[in-house]
Chains A and B, each alone.
Chain A
């Protein structure tokens, strides 16, 4: 079936504006992850969702960042009052099950966010 999709592919915004990034996981995948990759940096875990369980938000860098997953499928990552240091590629991944020990993560192409 189709892979993980993300939209938009590119987003340019002004400092102080809010942005929403969307992720459509692979159909049937119960686990969904958000990461960000800043220029020259490794991937940084942000948040993950597993079914109806409470999400693991331990990677969110500040309270300006939030995410939700509606109906156990599509997820939206929201960044409020964007700052220039938020500029990065935001990657979404999904896996069939997060707790099986065999949960290969499949990544989307990412959203490149540029905050001017």
Chain B
């Protein structure tokens, strides 16, 4: 069964450093998303992406964040200058034409 994959599974970085989180969505899916979940809190939407551009973004997704689909398979989230409060699980999700969003296993980001 096809699935969303994410790398790395765990990333530790120092405050102020740039990180890139990578995702490979399900191959025939057209819509891509990033969500995050701070420990003990709800899953929060960051950004959605379709047809090589951002469709919607939340107020969390400020100028420190960017997304890119550099080739036909990868979908990346970049955080330019990490802060302590960026420590969270970051989930990539993808969906086909309609509605079911399938989540990847997540990347645990720890900012020290």
A joins B in a complex: no
Q: Which chain A residues have a beta carbon within 8 Å of chain B's beta carbons? A: none
Q: Which residues of B contact A (CB under 8 A)?
A: none
